[in-house]
């Protein structure tokens, strides 16, 4: 069923032939370099949405800037992994090792497989809610939720993640996918039918699903010029539908260098979203930039 045109385009007032793209900044609040980058991009760039990491050390600073910025389009980057060697973070809702949310050092695991294999889905549901509640308590008008490192995009965890979206009436980032696409993403053949049926059910309940979720690769060798060329190709190749394109912008600081080996790519994403040629490239590719607030509001209107 996922080969049909995306029904959410009509709810957004867009034609079926539209190429609607969310230009999304991930990992805000992970470091101060992400907070200052977001603040700059929010005032003048091609970024249309972003998401903040509630368990991370710079979340309070990020929240303060988000709240101070009127109508900021920011969601919660649901975090169950702590991938860096020199900076770690952990759960908000529990410290129980039996939850499956912790490594031997007491932090979130550094890889998604550990979470997907070991985390108790009931505990994950509580943790996701706690992260959402922290953002709301900080004054953020949350526009959506998505998943750090894709940890919840697994049959054991997808349901509790989507339930949070419905409970708070915000879109939960999920991609529309048919059988062949799911197999290509590595889902075992034994559960592909179940996952495909679940995606159809989620969409039929009114949740907006995306036709593609792509991320500019975090290659250390990339420059802004290389990434601009890559982005131009991505935008031109998009078929009609609703698309989600992920960037990881951060300012070039000693803090960023000390934590993230892929700092050059993050700095390049920051410069890319401010590139003076980007608006014309977007226009020439026939792309309609869209924010998650517009999608959230259409979702809530549909739910009544």
Nearest residue to 35 (alpha-carbon basis) of 300, 249, 262? 249
pTM given for the model:
0.95
Helices (H), 81-239: 112-118, 121-137, 158-168, 179-184, 189-204, 224-237
With H, G, I as helix, E, B as strand and everything else as coil, classify residue 82.
coil
The ranges assigned to domains in the chain are 8-303
* Local structure of 128: helix, strand or coil: helix
pLDDT at 113: 94
**Residue 176: CA count within 13 A, CB half-sphere:** 22
Bridge partners for 8 per DSSP: none
Token readout for 284 is 């020439």
> How does pLDDT run across 131-146, given as a tens digit for each residue?
999 999 999 999 999 9
Q: How far apart are CA 273 and CA 46, in angstroms?
A: 5
Taking the C-alpha atoms of residue 139 and residue 167, their distance in angstroms, rounded to an integer, is 18
Choose among 41, 30, 63: nearest CA to 291: 41
- pLDDT of 218 reads 92
Could you give the CA distance from residue 301 to residue 304 in angstroms, rounded to a whole number? 5
DSSP state of 5: P
- 8-303 belongs to which homologous superfamily? Glycoside hydrolase/deacetylase (3.20.20.370)
Average confidence (pLDDT) per 10 residues, the chain, 304 residues: 79 95 98 98 93 98 96 97 96 95 96 95 97 98 97 92 97 90 78 85 93 92 86 97 97 97 95 95 98 98 90
Give residue 3's pLDDT: 56
Q: How far apart are CA 81 and CA 14, in angstroms?
A: 36
CA torsion, ordered 139, 271, 227, 149, to nearest 10 deg: -30
Catalogue the E-assigned strands of 48-182.
49-52, 74-78, 145-147
- The H-or-E segment that residue 22 falls in is strand 19-28
Q: How far apart are CA 109 and CA 90, in angstroms?
A: 9
Residue 46's pLDDT is 94
Residue 2 has a pLDDT of: 53
Task: Name residue, tokens 């939720």.
Answer: 145
């Amino acid at each position: 069923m996922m080969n049909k045109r995306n029904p959410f385009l009509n709810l957004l007032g867009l034609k079926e032939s539209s190429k609607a793209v969310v230009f999304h900044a991930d990992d805000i609040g992970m470091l101060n370099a992400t907070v200052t980058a977001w603040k700059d991009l929010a005032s003048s760039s091609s970024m249309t949405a972003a998401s903040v990491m509630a368990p991370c050390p710079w979340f309070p600073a990020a929240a303060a800037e988000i709240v101070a910025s009127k109508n900021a389009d920011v969601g919660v980057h649901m975090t169950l992994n702590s991938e860096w060697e020199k900076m770690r973070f952990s759960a908000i809702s529990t410290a129980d090792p039996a939850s499956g949310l912790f490594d031997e050092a007491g932090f979130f695991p550094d890889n998604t497989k550990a979470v997907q294999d070991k985390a108790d889905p009931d505990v994950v549901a509580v943790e996701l809610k706690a992260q959402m509640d922290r953002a709301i308590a900080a004054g953020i008008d949350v526009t959506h939720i998505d998943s750090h490192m894709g940890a919840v995009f697994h049959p054991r965890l997808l349901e509790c993640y989507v339930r949070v979206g419905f409970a708070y009436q915000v879109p939960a980032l999920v991609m529309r996918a048919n059988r062949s696409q799911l197999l290509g993403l590595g889902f075992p053949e034994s559960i592909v039918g179940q996952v495909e049926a679940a995606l159809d059910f989620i969409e039929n309940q009114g949740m907006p699903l995306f036709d593609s979720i792509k991320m500019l690769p975090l290659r250390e060798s990339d420059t802004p010029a290389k990434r601009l060329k890559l982005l131009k190709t991505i935008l031109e190749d998009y078929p009609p539908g609703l698309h989600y394109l992920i960037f990881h912008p951060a300012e070039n600081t000693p803090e960023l260098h000390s934590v993230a080996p892929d700092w050059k790519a993050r700095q390049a994403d920051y410069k890319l979203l401010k590139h003076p040629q980007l608006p014309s490239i977007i226009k020439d590719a026939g792309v309609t930039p869209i924010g998650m607030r517009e999608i959230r509001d259409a979702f809530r209107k549909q739910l009544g």
